[in-house]
Chains A and B, each alone.
Chain A
Amino acid sequence: MSGNASNPFATRFTKPGAIDFQFPCGDSAEQLIERLSKNDWRGEIVGPHGSGKSTLLACILPILRERFPRLWLGKIAGGQRTLCEATEQPNWATAGLVVIDGYEQLSWWTRFKAKLSANMNSCGLLVTCHESVGFPEIFRTNPTPALVKKLAHELQNGSSVQITSAEVAQCYQQHSQNIREAMFAMYDLFEQKRQPHRSG
């Protein structure tokens, strides 16, 4: 097989926004947003590391932006403790909805100010977190081996090199059910399979 074909598990195909979020049967982006709306646009998306929270956000953001054209999105990087470290701070008065991905990484004081600002400006606040931070839970990401197998199958569609379902399950299990890390492992495995004389 040509080494120049793309690896289906490369970041460009698996990053949030590149891959569709797979809602469990009976749920959808619209229903999630409906729940958020009923909670006065306050809510949290809860789930462990690499379970798809950012992917879910990427899925619902276009719908939210239609409702809140000035929506502010902040992705909290590792070690970042304040919103000031972002490229620009949210305008609580005009945003309508502030979305913070990685909320619990912020300091207690920053989180307090965020909630206070949201309340004072009647601004919605949607966050993602690994454990509940006290907002109404509007979605809990809970990946399953079957989901990961389905994603791997879809990503590999048409590829002459295939990672088997057993190998997918093994990657998922080895990485403590962290889909992101499992995808990285599948990337390595795919490269090894198509060019076995090379190693990572």
Chain B
Amino acid sequence: MEPLISMTILHPKQSYQGGDLLEGELQVDAVPVGSIQSIETTVLWYTEGKGDEDFGVHFFERRLQEDMVDGDLRELHRFSTILPLSPLSYEGFILKIRWCVRTRVFLQDGRSTLFEEPFQLGSVAPISENTVAEPKAGFSMTDTVRDEAATDTKPSHPPESPLPDSSPKVGADQ
């Protein structure tokens, strides 16, 4: 039988900020006492998209059966970590940066089971066509540029566009 992993992020937020405390608890059921060799809990980020993948581990904890007084790793266990300032969660078109809490249970018979709980760090808005600003007032368009604007969405001289606000919003809880 596969172990049943119950993992919960305590006091969940729509998005966390760097310096926030991330707390969670997990419990394993549906397997007998002594059947679990170890449990690993990781808070990590990873990239996803079209290019090469990357990941970084922020928090890692491995608990072994012999570490437990009664040898029972199934019991409710709480973990916590202070989240870093970066990298922030990002839902881009080509690249996405995602954060999650990952728990892996290793059984004595060699099998393992994985469970992930995603969360968001920061509030970075993805770039969209709507973030491209209109040309400034008073800008004189030549006939050539005007024709380009009429037939193509990309002007020959890109106008200034405000960058998306990627800085964490202090105190901006859900």
Residues of chain A having any CB pair with chain B under 8 Å: 3-4, 6-7, 10-12, 15, 184, 187-188, 191, 197-200
Contacts and interface: CB of A to CB of B under 8 A. Distances in A.
Given A197-B129, A197-B130, A200-B94, A187 B50 contact: yes
B52 A191 contact: no
Contacts of A187: 49-50
A189 to B, nearest CB: 12
B72 interface: no
A7 B51 CA distance: 13
Judged by DSSP, the binding face of A is loop
Interface in B42-74: 48-53
Given A4-B98, A12-B48, 5 more contacts: A4-B91, A10-B48, A188-B93, A197-B129, A198-B129
A180 to B, nearest CB: 11
A7 B93 CA distance: 10
Contacts of A197: 128-130
A188 B95 CA distance: 11
Interface of B: 48-53, 91, 93-94, 98, 118, 126-130
Contacts of B48: 6-7, 10-12
Contact of A199 (B52, B53, B118, B129): B129
A-B pairs, top 4 by smallest CB distance, nearest first, are: A200-B93, A198-B128, A10-B48, A3-B91
Contacts of B118: 4
B51 A199 contact: no
A188 B50 CA distance: 9
A184 B51 CA distance: 9
A11 B47 CA distance: 10
B49 A11 contact: yes
A30 B91 CA distance: 42
B49 A10 contact: yes
A198 B93 contact: yes
A199 B93 contact: yes
Contact of B50 (A3, A6, A11, A198): A11
15 contacts: A7-B49, A10-B49, A11-B48, A11-B49, A11-B51, A11-B53, A12-B48, A12-B53, A15-B53, A188-B93, A191-B93, A197-B129, A198-B127, A199-B93, A200-B94
B91 A199 contact: no
